[in-house]
Homo-oligomer: A and B are copies of this chain.
Amino acid sequence: MNHFFKVMGLDRVMGLVPGFPAVPLETLSLSRASARILGEDITADQDLPGFRRSTMDGYAVQSRATFGASEANPAWLRMTDTIAMGQTPTFSLASDEAAPISTGGMLPDGADSVVMVEHTEPVDDATVEIYKSVAPLQHVVDRAEDYGKGQEIITAGTLIRPQESGVLAALGMTDVKVFKRPVVAIISTGDEIVPVEETPAPGKIRDMNSHTLAGLISDAGGIPMQLGIVKDNRDDLFEACSRAVAQADMVLISGGSSVGMRDFTVDVLSDLPQTELLVHGISISPGKPTILARAGQKPVWGLPGHVVSAMVVFKVVVLPFLKKIMGKKDWADQGLTIPATLTRNVASAQGRTDFVRVDLQERDGKLYAVPVLGKSGLIRTMVMARALLEIGENVEGVEKDTRVNVLPM
């Protein structure tokens, strides 16, 4: 095994994403399917809505009976029985008639529109004055106006937002096929790391990465599985890795940024059965010493030990792989970036992609990206940051007052 870094560009790393398959599907009740990734294409098996509905309280009419109506010259129409909510009207509407109807009510045959109650005045029990003309289909939702039978509505791989839940409800989908939530194992490594409940002796620090990574995994829709801390020992790491690969859909080994631990990680990954080392170093900063292997069909990551580096690598490198595994069809889409004005010059090295932590501040209605200075070992810089600014490989830096697009986090 060659342990030299052969640093790979971010684009080439992203090219590896399609090599990892999605987790299996499961069927959930509609309520539990919220915020999951849809596992099937949804086509309307019925017209939505299934009938012509009123969107206002008022009178269902034939629109041409109202043409020319005004306050000065109202139309007089005969009032029919009131249309009961949730019922099919038992009559057809004649051109000289108006049917009292509520919002959501079904229009009778013959009626093509609704006059708002505000534009009417009952003359007596049998007659209503109409003060305003309506156009055909005004104040109604027509049959199939939302979706027509046979129309494709949502495709597999789509996040089920609240509105998609609404559509699935309208179609009567009590059960929904979704992708399972992938389980992501987290292993922290290093002789200097102690668990949160321990008071660190001098020279030791508490494990932050297990917790920052768990939060990132949850936020992304995965299930974090914290496997604790492994000391700087090859056999222990091999054992922990084997268990993680068996139990999880993806594995994150954090720490081991020292040359020794990095070697352990690479050694262990090359000794795991059916495992191929794909990436050994990425031309990004922070995050250069990132390792990616494929164990069977599962990605196993060696992440940098610095807490900020591990978070940034998760956000910009690991996340697209996790989305792919979750079944998301738009895994390559990093989400909306936000335009902002940079408040100071930021230097960057050519030949690598830099990710600069920035705070976002609004002044006089304009949004500014304020670089957060500080080493990548300082969690403080992430607490202060609200977004990442990406500076491309071929750019040496970005000048103050430049308009940039930043990725919220």
Which positions in A face B, CB cutoff 8 Å?
30-31, 34-35, 48-51, 53, 55, 57, 84-89, 102-106, 117, 141, 145-147, 153-154, 160-174, 190-193, 196-216, 218-219, 224, 226, 232, 255, 257-261, 305-307, 311, 336, 338-339, 360, 367, 375-380, 382-383, 385-386, 408
Contacts and interface: CB of A to CB of B under 8 A. Distances in A.
A385 B163 CA distance: 10
Given A104-B258, A203-B88, A377 B55 contact: yes
A307 B146 CA distance: 12
Contacts of A385: 163
Nearest to A387: B336
Top 9 nearest A-B pairs (CB, nearest first) are A162-B215, A102-B258, A86-B192, A163-B382, A166-B212, A106-B203, A86-B191, A85-B191, A166-B208
Contacts of A104: 190, 192, 205, 255, 257-258, 305
A211 B375 contact: no
9 contacts: A55-B306, A89-B203, A102-B258, A141-B375, A145-B378, A162-B213, A163-B383, A166-B209, A336-B360
Contacts of A205: 49-50, 53, 104, 170
A378 B141 contact: yes
Contact of A377 (B102, B141, B261, B378): B141
Copies of this chain, tallied across the complex: 2
A355 to B, nearest CB: 15
A165 B258 CA distance: 24
Contacts of A380: 146-147, 167
Given A174-B196, A192-B86, A258-B85, A166 B379 contact: yes
A173 B385 CA distance: 22
Contacts of A377: 53, 55, 141, 146
A103 B257 contact: yes
Contact of A165 (B167, B212, B339, B360): B212
Contacts of A206: 169-172
A232 B85 contact: yes
A141 B308 CA distance: 13
Given A202-B88, A212-B166, A196 B30 contact: yes
A378 B102 contact: no
A196 B218 contact: no
Contacts of A197: 172, 174
A162 B339 contact: no
Given A85-B191, A380-B147, A215 B174 contact: no
B169 A383 contact: no
Contact of A260 (B102, B163, B198, B376): B102
A406 to B, nearest CB: 10
Given A50-B202, A163-B383, A165-B214, 14 more contacts: A31-B214, A35-B219, A48-B379, A102-B261, A103-B257, A162-B211, A162-B214, A162-B215, A162-B216, A165-B211, A166-B209, A167-B379, A169-B211, A339-B339
B169 A196 contact: yes
A379 to B, nearest CB: 5
